[in-house]
Amino acid sequence: MLVHDVLGKLRLFLAILLVGSSVGCSSETRSSSRGYEERLRVGELCSGMRGTRYEDSLSAGSNHVPRTSHLAPRKNKDTLTFAFVGDIMMGTTFPSRQLPENGGKDLFRDVKDILLSADITAGNLEGTLCDGGTTTKKVSSICYAFRTPTSYSHYLKDVGFDFLSMANNHAHDFGQEGIRSTEQQLKANGIAYAGIGGRQEYAIIEVPALQDSMSRSPEKTLKIGFCAFGHNSYTIMHTDTATVGRIVRKLRQQVDILVVSFHGGAEGAKASHLPQGKELFLGENRGNLRLLAHQCIDLGADIVYGHGPHVPRCMELYKGKIVAYSLGNFCTPRSVSLKGISGYAPILEVKTDREGNFIEGQIHSFIQQPGVGPRSDSQNRTAQLIRDLTASDIRNSSITIDNNGKILKNNK
């Protein structure tokens, strides 16, 4: 604890020198994992201090990641680009070592440019980042426990993740030790997170509103809020509508754009269609996801994205706000079935205005290869599946998805 305190004070002192602003005693500095923009992360709730806000200041230009995307840097200060993905579980050492090829170095090879090109990149961390501990599960052919080595954590930073949900049914696979280790790894890599009950309810990420790479002091920043809900008792549960409402309302007051992540729904290839009403799976209430998404938007959410079924589901435009009901498996090279559509791994790119209203989107198609990770799908099968599911499951859809995955608002 003494070493931690000394390091914390040293980081704080360096942040004051570099940023040139005063930072409160409860703050700590965190290195940026992004490219040419300065980043500030604020508003995460401290463990055991529900409702307490602290701020993390980032120094400009630290841990710079070159932005090598095929997309040009954002020139229009009135738009923001998001990249969303589904489940990430890069490999596990429990109950046996099931890790990807080449030590995981090539996992994100085909998707890195798209993820780094977005202003904000987010997904679901399916499992723990830890090296030890005792599992809380009775592992069997239908029950899994995931323990990804902490040495893999930096891969998430390297491809630009800003936020990862922990509100899922594998975050507690190694108990509180696994949760603490995961949080520590995400913090160390500058990645915000939320979703575990009694710990962090939300995160706020600030990005410059002005696209001026020469300016170190943007006139204004946009605050992007994230909250995450799951179906397990240790998560912030989306079936607890009162708690969902409280968090969304509270966060809405603090941010310019509000993003809600949820983990819910039945699982498997037969669960690709979005039903009406409540979903039950393995005796659990996995939520009424249409109602949840609409409730969150009615309360002020601008984007809602889901995961949990391990397959993609439909998308919807509700009151001008985009909803992705499941983005399936994104990077799960071992211990997760990748047969058929379970291996479809979309990246949802969303462009919004500064109020979070949907402008247009793009479904980038990838298909996972066992032991390798997501690889380009030249046939756009992933996008076409989501197009067909949307046509089937969303009545009078307000969006059109073409064969190449382009998402446009219908002219009505």
Give burial (CB, 10 Å; 0-12/13-18/19+) of 106.
middle
Q: What is the pLDDT of residues 22-75, one digit of tens each?
A: 322 222 223 333 432 333 232 222 222 222 222 332 222 222 222 223 333 445
Per-residue pLDDT at 33: 39
Given a contact cutoff of 8 angstroms between Cβ atoms, the answer to whether 121 and 191 are in contact is: no
Rounded mean pLDDT, 242-267: 98
Least confident of 136-150, 181-195, 232-246, 310-324: 136-150
Least confident of 11-25, 94-108, 230-244, 330-344: 11-25
Per-residue pLDDT at 390: 98
Least confident of 59-63, 321-325, 407-411: 59-63
Given a contact cutoff of 8 angstroms between Cβ atoms, the answer to whether 167 and 198 are in contact is: no
Per-residue pLDDT at 216: 52
Per-residue pLDDT at 107: 98
Q: How far is CA 334 from CA 48, 371, 373, in A?
A: 34, 6, 9
User: Which structure tokens are listed for 271?
Assistant: 């669960």
The pTM (predicted TM-score) of the whole model is: 0.82
Task: Determine the Cα–Cα distance for residues 193 and 228; give it in Å rounded to an integer.
Answer: 8
The percentage of the chain sitting over the pLDDT mark of 70, rounded to a whole number, equals: 79
The number of C-alpha atoms within 13 Å of 115 and in the hemisphere containing its C-beta is 30
Per-residue pLDDT at 142: 80
Q: What is the pLDDT of residues 7-24, one digit of tens each?
A: 444 444 443 333 333 322
pLDDT band at 411 (very low <50, low <70, confident <90, very high): confident
pLDDT band at 219 (very low <50, low <70, confident <90, very high): low
Per-residue pLDDT at 78: 81
Find all residues with CB under 8 Å of 211, minimum gap 6, and list them.
73, 74, 75, 76, 77
Per-residue pLDDT at 277: 97
Rounded mean pLDDT, 182-208: 96
Q: What is the per-residue DSSP string for 87-146?
A: EE---B-SSS-B--GGGGTTTTTTTHHHHHHSSEEEEEE-SEE-S----SS--BTTB---
Least confident of 105-109, 138-142, 193-197, 212-216: 212-216
Q: Is the pLDDT of residue 377 over 80?
A: yes
Find all residues with CB under 8 Å of 233, minimum gap 6, and list them.
197
Q: Look over the chain and give the mean of its residue pLDDT values, rounded to a whole number.
A: 83
Q: Is the pLDDT of residue 278 over 90?
A: yes
190-206 exposure pattern, b = at least 16 Cβ within 10 A, e = fewer: bbbbbbbbebbbbbbbb
- Is the model more confident about 393 or about 29? 393
Hey, which residues does 56 pair with through a beta bridge? 28, 41
Task: Determine the Cα–Cα distance for residues 95 and 146; give it in Å rounded to an integer.
Answer: 8
Rounded mean pLDDT, 357-362: 98
Task: Determine the Cα–Cα distance for residues 120 and 205; give it in Å rounded to an integer.
Answer: 9
CB count in 10 Å sphere of residue 107 = 26
Q: What is the pLDDT of residues 225-254, one digit of tens each?
A: 999 999 999 999 999 999 999 999 999 999
The percentage of the chain sitting over the pLDDT mark of 90, rounded to a whole number, equals: 74
Hey, which residues does 80 pair with through a beta bridge? 352
